[in-house]
Amino acid sequence: MAVRRLVLLLGAVLLVAGVIALLVPVSTPDGNGGSIGCGNAISEDLASAREANSKGIANVPILNQIIQHPDFVAQCQSSVSSRRAWSIPLAVVGLLVAGGSLVVGGRSGVGSKA
């Protein structure tokens, strides 16, 4: 019985950690010591990244010079994708572990005769 509760607790902790990770805002550095918001892992918001891309000096044409300009939209998409890559499996594993401990733990003495 104690093992079942421990497994249930572990599954619940994993599930809660996964859901919190999905809801916490994702951001990417802007290169000036600040950050650009990208939404969260559930809903991606690229408006700030698009605005940061349009404000850059790389949009001003200069002959015979190449100016490196980060693509903030791509960085935001990468950050959100990375967050989804570990937080969704974490939440699913937590759900399966917690649900499995409830289902397996409920089957005690079904086929035994006293």
Q: Residue 71 falls within a domain, yes or no?
A: yes
H or E segment and range at residue 54: helix 47-55
Structural domain for 51, as ranges:
2-26+39-104
Q: Residue 33 falls within a domain, yes or no?
A: no
Q: How many domains is the chain built from?
A: 1
Structure confidence by residue, pLDDT tens digits, 55-108: 866 555 565 666 667 889 999 999 999 999 999 999 999 999 999 998 886 555
26 and 98 Cβ atoms separated by less than 8 Å: no
pTM exceeds cut of 0.85: no
Residues 6+ apart with CB under 8 A from 82: none
pLDDT at 1 over 90: no
What sections of the chain are H helices per DSSP? 2-23, 47-55, 72-105
Structure confidence by residue, pLDDT tens digits, 6-62: 999 999 999 999 999 999 999 999 888 889 999 999 999 999 999 988 886 655 556
Q: Residue 80 falls within a domain, yes or no?
A: yes
pLDDT at 112 over 70: no
Q: How crowded is residue 1: how many other Cβ atoms within 10 Å of its Cβ?
A: 7
